[in-house]
Structure 1
């Protein structure tokens, strides 16, 4: 049974590969491979340069946004744990966030105009 399944699978794979090779069309026409812009040749390059500084600001925003969502469960934890433990964990978490923000500020990542 295993040999029969293997033989049928091999025959099907060969048939599919033969059909795919014969049905592929190749377009070497410059007009068909170029981006379409109302039938005219493009005036400029389609990809604009990306601002790395904008990407870093967006990345910092996402990181701090996700960390702020971690503050919400601390409200539920405060009901089930001691007030001292809640106070210490919230202060530690806030200090880590502030140290990260201070580090980014000292590196100059938060300055938009350089």
Structure 2
């Protein structure tokens, strides 16, 4: 789905290292411009993501020096993406006014639009 949204220049595969070593994301992109660690989760019931999932992708992102994105789906619900709004604001030189996480949920399409814009402007530096 990510390749469908981002284009054929961005191919993703399962990160097999996640089974051998802790704190690795679920997906690896073959294009270095995609500066995000992707954690994918699915849950049968509930209303939103688990904070533990976010903590997991946050650890992975720090280890890999990339931005964290949690992609999750609840049964019979659309795919959602969780990111820290500060990452997006800083990328476009907007003041964040906060040193705390400001987590937001986006549709998959909206996350991919934001990621494309960030890559296009080459503002993915951490």
> Taking structure 2 as the reference length, what is the TM-score of the superposition?
0.21
Structure number with greater Rg is: 1
Q: Which has the higher helix share?
A: 1
